[in-house]
Amino acid sequence: MAYTEEELKKELETKEYEYGFYTDIESDTLPIGLNEDIVRAISKRKHEPEWMTQWRLEAFAAWKQMEEPEWANVHYKKPDFQAISYYSAPKKKDKYESLDEVDPELLETFNKLGISIDEQKKLAGVAVDIVMDSVSVATTFRDTLAEKGIIFCSISEAIKDYPELVKKYIGSVIPIKDNFYAALNSAVFSDGSFCYIPKGVRCPMELSTYFRINQAGTGQFERTLVIADEGSYVSYLEGCTAPSRDENQLHAACVELIALDDAEIKYSTVQNWFPGDKEGKGGVFNFVTKRGICHTNAKISWTQVETGSAVTWKYPSCILKGDNSIGEFYSIAVTNNYQQADTGTKMVHIGKNTRSTIISKGISAGKSQNSYRGLVQVNPKAKNARNFSQCDSLLMGNDCGAHTFPYIEARNNSAQIEHEATTSKIGEDQIFYCNQRGIDTEKAIALIVNGFSKEVLNKLPMEFAVEAQKLLEISLEGSVG
Amino acid sequence: MELKEKMLSSFMVLEQELDLSSPVHDIRSESLKTFEEKGFPTNKLEAWKYTSIAKLLKNDYSLFPKKETTIELKDVKKYFLYEIDSYKVVFIDGIYSPFLSDTTHDGIDVCLLSAALSKPKYKKIIDKFFNQVADKEENLTALNTSFAKEGAYIYIPKSVVAEKPIQIIHFSTGEQGDFMLQPRSLVVAEENAQVQIIERHQSLAEHAVWTNAVTEIFADKNAIVDYYKIQNDRHDASLVDNTYIAQQSSSNVKVHTFSFGGKLTRNNLNFYQKGEHIDSTMKGITIIEDQQHVDHYTLVNHEQPNCESHQDYKGIYSDKAVGVFNGKIYVDQIAQKTNAFQQNNNILLDDKATINTKPQLEIFADDVKCSHGCTIGQLDEDALFYLRTRGIPKKEAKGLLTYAFANNVLESVAIPALKTRINKLIAMKLGVETGYDL
């Protein structure tokens, strides 16, 4: 008997039912695929209030209408969005019983970075049965933060405990219809961080997801919301220099920063996800939307060190809405082997006397492609807006590419905009000079690359900077021909 | 009827007067297919993001002149560079004007493309060069190719130096009502040849005119081509100027574009370097006001090692003028030792003026020196103050400074009379009394 469409439909319907989205049976992972029910299920699983569920559904409806962007200078096989499971519980079973089972290559990298044994275990997913130092550290930190009135928790907790804050600000900087990946993230985000600094408070320490032990597994669709109330200051660290062997292929995170009047947010990222092997197989697709809004006299500073991921698509941006606000973007993007990065920033000048600085350093080696793509937009009312951009690219080897696509739009005659870009290779005389003084070529390259990226490395918080420097060396290992 | 449909049906009218058996006709039909498929470019195309031709499409253009118009030399003399002796190829509403022209076949060929396309003695050259470097996929270039019929044909044989400059001028009289022109020119400079060319499009009366021009330039080994484009048209005249240049080893091609007027001007300037030790230079000065729109879209394709390219574009925008600069430098993997420089400086004189700029580098070779710089700003307050302390009124001081800002592009203009002319034009545009003969 012929199999009719009607029957197929019926079967699919019953099939879905079989999985039982509405039953209360705890399962770690939702079935693969994405539809309205999945979105509802995620929301339900996280015990979210109705408005959040509606918000997710709205995002999902928008996402369905959107097409995956193709304008970026990256080429990859598009992920099948129906072949992904959109929710897996954060409590994963430990992968290994002891460090001996872990990939020795990974351990070697840990050692090079100078990561302690306990941390190594945690990062590699080894069962840790003794109480780790950092746990107690984290607890101490929490107390200090609470004293100051700083809220630092997971976004799911925030949705439950501080709904009015979340409701007011989520999606206010990155609207759910902003772009394909942002819409997807809004519909299905699993978790992320939430941070609120009250009026006039200067956060006494660098906030980092790293210290939030219970949130170790960040998941594929991370959502971060940082709100700095009037006159406050916060420095936020995201990511970790240690390589993470994440099995998720697709990452689509959203980060929203809100700097109210006179506030300052410093957001530093080190990204070192699995870039794929030497043949370019595997690796993480990193499609991130990051944006901050600056109110009067506020300042947002993005610093990023991008060394991982097979494909990076990331443009941390600043909307300089308030008068006298400041946006900064410092970036180092390193690509090796078959990695592709299309990254940069957007500086949208709306308020008067707004200033922005862009320093971007791209280093490409192996067979990789590294692009800077940025927009500087000065609107008619942004009197005396000022921008300085500098994009330098360093090419190592003859099979890689470095590209710059800066867009500059000035609609105001008092704007002052400067943009400069250079592309060059490491000078042979520089290497020769180092060799002469007994520094081998590999070390020499590391030295020169560090010098090249110094302007950006200087912007990183201390501990991060030291590790990032080592990370650059490791990323470029073996790229010298 | 929409303009696109009109174009497509007009092609059949055009076919009646053409030799359908020639290979050129195949190129035309092929291009029409491309245009039919692609249509007019819209803002959705990255290349047309900042320039919309939508407003040009609303006019009901005539595509073929209804009648032949003559104009008196005295009326249009000022549009010629009359101070020096030159060859001239002049068209009135797209029709060749023998009266105003001065062509030659003595040693070099300066004549009409229509003649070159139809006469057997040019066949070899047409087969070798016609539509060889022009982008076959670009919307408006394809449109021009399908209607390619008339324009200038310049051929400089091996080791010949054209003794005087060549002026190509297209007049639009307004006698035909709203009018669309699609001139097509071909310039071939063989080995060691040298030539200087000045091109101008001029509308003479109030009417909407849209010129969609394509020029192909081939410079063989060691050839030197100097090309000057003067764009100082009426406020209702629009121009899309597509120029494609193929260079062989050690050749040197310079293109200067002076955009001082017109409703909408779009310059697509494309260099393809096919040999080593090539030098490509493109420079431009844009000074516009009111609601004028000028877009410079340049591409330098470094395909071979040891080549250089230099770009220097200056823009001065007042009132509600819009300036666009989109410069792309592409360096192929084998193009080692490339030196590519790009500079784009802009001054916005008024609140409502806009500048959109997008300098791009796409680099696949490691041993290269490439840079681009772009600035948007105002006049230096200190310099302005300095001049005023010396008793120069603010307006003049501003004029002098903007004049100085634009002026250095002129240094590489090799025809002294043209340099003087442009200098005067700039001074006039900026309201500067230079007080001395430039």
pLDDT value at A205 more than 50:
yes
Confidence of residue A130 (pLDDT cuts 50, 70, 90): very low
pLDDT of residue A216: 37
The amino acid occupying position A157 is E
Each domain of chain A, given as residue ranges in start order, spans: 145-475
CA torsion, points A468, A359, B365, B374, in degrees to nearest 10? Answer: 180
The 8-class DSSP code of residue A149 comes to T
Confirm whether B281 is domain-assigned: yes
Nearest residue, CB atoms, A401 vs list B364, B369, B373: B364
Contact B355 A408 (CB under 8 A): yes
Residue A25 has pLDDT above 80, yes or no: no
Angle at Cα A473 formed by Cα A470 and Cα A474, nearest 5°?
90
Of B333, B352, B357, the CB nearest to A408: B357
B-chain residues near A422 (CB < 8 A):
369-371
The answer to whether A396 contacts B372, with C-beta atoms less than 8 Å apart, is no
pTM: 0.81
- Hey, how many other C-beta atoms are within 10 angstroms of the C-beta on B350? 14
Verify that B51 and B88 share a domain, yes or no.
yes
Q: Rounded to 5 degrees, what are φ and ψ at A185?
A: -60, -45
pLDDT at residue B244 above 90? yes
Q: Do B286 and B325 fall within a single domain? A: yes
Report how many domains make up chain B: 3
* Judgement on whether residues B283 and B333 belong to the same structural domain of the protein: yes
pLDDT band at A108; cut points 50, 70, 90: low
CB atoms within 10 A of CB B1: 9
Q: Which among A439, A421, A435, A313 is positioned nearest to A376, based on CA atoms?
A: A421
Nearest CA in chain A to B50: A409
Six token digits for residue B81: 């560079």
- Structural domain that includes position B405: 386-438
Instruction: Give the closest of B351, B356, B362 to A412, CB-based.
Output: B351
CA pair distance B286, B322, nearest whole angstrom: 11
Q: What's the rounded Cα separation, in Å, for the pair A432 and A139?
A: 51
Look at residue B346 and tell me if it is in a domain.
Answer: yes
- Who contacts A247 (Cβ-Cβ below 8 Å, separation ≥6)? none
pLDDT tens track for B115-164: 888 888 888 888 889 888 988 888 899 989 988 888 999 999 999 999 99
Tell me if B267 is assigned to some domain. no
Which chain B residues touch A397 with a CB distance below 8 Å? Answer: 366
Residue by residue, DSSP assigns B92-144 as ETTEE-TTT-B-B-SSSEEEEHHHHHH-GGGHHHHHHHTTSSS-TT-HHHHHH
Would you state the pLDDT for residue A18?
32
Share of chain A above pLDDT 90, in %: 26
- Could you tell me if B248 and B348 lie in one domain? no
Q: Which residue has the higher pLDDT, A286 or B187?
A: B187
Give the residue-averaged pLDDT of B388-398: 88
**Under DSSP, is residue B242 helix (H, G, I), strand (E, B) or coil?**
strand
What is the full DSSP assignment across B176-208? TSSEEE--EEEEEE-TT-EEEEEEEEEE-SSS-
- Residues B353, B304 within the same domain: yes
**Domain assignment of residue B371, yes or no:** yes
Residue B89 lies in a domain: yes
Taking the CA of residue B288 and the nearest CA in chain A, the distance in Å comes to 14
Those of residues 59-118 in A touching chain B at CB distance below 8 A are 71
My answer on whether B362 and B409 are in the same domain is no
Under an 8 A CB cutoff, do B378 and A398 touch?
no
The reply to whether B240 and B282 lie within a common domain is: no
Binary contact (B348, A410; C-beta < 8 A): yes
Do B35 and B162 fall into the same domain?
yes
Both B233 and B130 in a single domain? yes
Specify the DSSP class assigned to residue A92. P
Q: How many CB pairs under 8 A join A and B?
A: 113
Model pLDDT for residues B45-81, shown as the tens digit of each residue:
888 888 888 888 888 888 887 777 788 888 888 888 8
Of A207-211, A420-424, B123-127, B134-138, the range with the lowest mean pLDDT is A207-211
For the stretch A241-283, pLDDT in tens is 555 555 557 788 899 999 999 999 999 888 877 777 777 777 7
Same domain, B88 and B191: yes
Chain A nearest CA to B240, separation (Å): 22
B263 in any annotated domain: no
Amino acid A238: pLDDT: 79
Indicate if B220 and B368 belong to the same structural domain.
no
- Do residues B409 and B365 share a domain? no
